[in-house]
A and B are shown apart, each in its own frame.
Chain A
């Protein structure tokens, strides 16, 4: 069986100068939930729109279940449920009218009531779209994607701007879709979302994939599942880094604004040794904390930057 979504050496250059996507390869199997994770401007939207057949790549090959956009566009459209990053649906139509409109384009859509119920929009079915809250609009956008009974769901930042509860509701809807055999490709810049939702993910930066695998895999590759963060009261110069690195069970060291981060495999070995060596230097600890490593750490480790600036 061919992959649900496949692309090889995808490139997109806007106006001959902005290289938004630079040689991207993906293979997503049917039934997978795959995430594209990356900072603003990484090329996520460009990539997903090329895969959706809405944007012409500068070069590269795309196929959906083995079919290409050039050969079989009309048929392929029946399989895809799409939610774009920014679509403003018509304000003066009601929620139900909007869903019915999208349903009318497909040969065998789902019933609108069922989709309304699933996205908890039944109450709002007869309100104008212009009167919905941001979160309700977002859910409506997903509803227009789900009403066509798709095989693949493309969601571009589906949870941006949602409150935590709405985000969880949407995750749940995505899980249900996947459980019923659907394939999902979503973009996000929320780490926790990617960790919870995605079977596999690709971290995209400057139009290229810099790491790919399951969330656990990627964190494993850091070398340690734990992060020890600390600060001391003296400004220790570069020599200290080597010292921290030599502590037991430490895999890597990073320093930022006086805060030292150690990737650690076994904190119970590292921390006593750390305290010892600080005491030996005659400095005092100002801060110490440990936490589970996250995708954020993976990203920082790979690029030296944070995923989100906030």
Chain B
């Protein structure tokens, strides 16, 4: 068969346009743009990076919110004196802090066991009452004292000393205030490790890295574009979560935006570096997934995301503080909640810098493009 018989293609080249010239940063700009477009078009990424932390903050913030005015929920066991107890509580000048409920003995016991009630009042023979409380639960101990004071006052006890108290539940010391910086840190770790580590191995497995290396692409530009995309995403992540805390939970941000951005930026790059290291050799996304989880697991537990690492024995505190996520969380917390200047945090910044820097150098040494 001759050429002429074959399907004619647009064989005659269109009059060639003059070749265009690309500048030094053209590759970098296109790589960054491609990365951002891909992220934007990946609904899972949008969910895990942006929506999930917000949901987590919302859920935990509501579950552990300080009850309005620290209302004390009290179960009064139904009986001859129950209504009496209730009206005595209502006489108290602080009656709004009590939430009394008259229920059966059975229900009271069950509710108390589940933490629904802080205290159970059992009218006893005569005019007296019997309290059932849990000395191990601070709110239960408090409830006993407060209820007792109210009942005694209603029964005619006079306080000799005149005292006044001012309620002070400042934003800044609540669980949500502790939680949001921790979530920020965790999110920066997650997206740094997955966004760099996973993405690279995925490209290696798809032979896309090899294909890129077959072009004059500058390898440094490629890594730089990945890091830049992380930083852009970081700004959105941090901004969203902080704005959410401020709007929904009236969180107060004490530190300056610049300081927080700097710490968060350093954090993302640190975990980008660690992510690069975990991805330096792995050929399959399955193996890198395991590796990433293995690296992150101890930090989820120890680095004070959901609860303070002060709960662990003091002897391992130095180890915990040497973890990059601990440094990031602590730095974010003190900056956001206390407004501590950057200079006072140099040891934490140094820890992050060392983790990120050493990982990056090792990764460059071991990294396989093919």
Contacts and interface: CB of A to CB of B under 8 A. Distances in A.
Contact of A92 (B41, B208, B217): B41
Interface stretch (A4-12, A105-113, A220-228): A105-113
Nearest to A89: B208
Interface in B5-33: 6-11, 13-14, 16-17, 19-22, 26-27, 29-31
Interface in A110-152: 110-111, 114, 117-118, 120, 128, 144, 148-149
B30 A93 contact: no
Nearest to A75: B216
A90 B31 CA distance: 12
Contacts of A89: 206, 208, 211
Contacts of B19: 108-110, 149
A181 to B, nearest CB: 12
Contacts of B6: 168, 171-172
B13 A87 contact: no
B10 A93 contact: no
B10 A118 contact: yes
A105 B21 contact: no
Contacts of B29: 104
B354 interface: no
Give the interface size class of chain B.
35 or more
A104 B210 contact: no
Nearest to B29: A104
A107 B217 CA distance: 10
Contacts of A176: 9, 11, 13
Contact of A108 (B8, B13, B22, B212): B22
A54 B214 contact: yes
Contacts of B370: 54-55
A65 interface: no
A114 B214 contact: no
Contact-residue bracket for chain A: 35 or more
Given A55-B370, A89-B208, A107 B21 contact: yes
B3 interface: yes
B211 A105 contact: no
Interface in B137-154: none
Contact of B7 (A82, A92, A97, A168): A168
B10 to A, nearest CB: 6
B38 interface: yes
Contacts of B16: 110, 114
Nearest to B19: A108
A54 B13 CA distance: 31
B246 interface: no
B206 A87 contact: yes
Nearest to B206: A88
Interface string A22-60: 000000000000000000000000000000111100000
B37 interface: yes
Contacts of B130: none
A172 B214 contact: no
A259 interface: no
Nearest to B8: A172
Interface in B21-62: 21-22, 26-27, 29-31, 34, 37-38, 41-42
Contact of A173 (B9, B22, B212): B9
Contact of B13 (A78, A114, A144): A114
Contacts of B113: none
A102 interface: yes
B206 to A, nearest CB: 4
B362 interface: no
Contacts of A86: 207
A265 interface: no
Contacts of A175: 3, 11
A92 B42 contact: yes
Nearest to A76: B216
A241 interface: no
A108 B210 contact: no
A172 B11 contact: yes
Contacts of A148: 215
A82 B14 contact: no
Nearest to A100: B30
A70 interface: no
B281 to A, nearest CB: 15
A162 interface: no
A241 to B, nearest CB: 35
**Nearest 10 pairs of A and B residues by beta carbon:** A104-B30, A88-B206, A77-B216, A108-B19, A172-B9, A92-B41, A82-B214, A105-B215, A105-B217, A104-B26
10 contacts: A54-B210, A74-B216, A82-B214, A84-B214, A89-B211, A92-B42, A93-B37, A93-B38, A104-B30, A176-B13
Interface of A: 52-55, 74, 77-78, 80, 82, 84, 86-90, 92-93, 97, 100-111, 114, 117-118, 120, 128, 144, 148-149, 165, 168-169, 171-173, 175-176, 180, 196
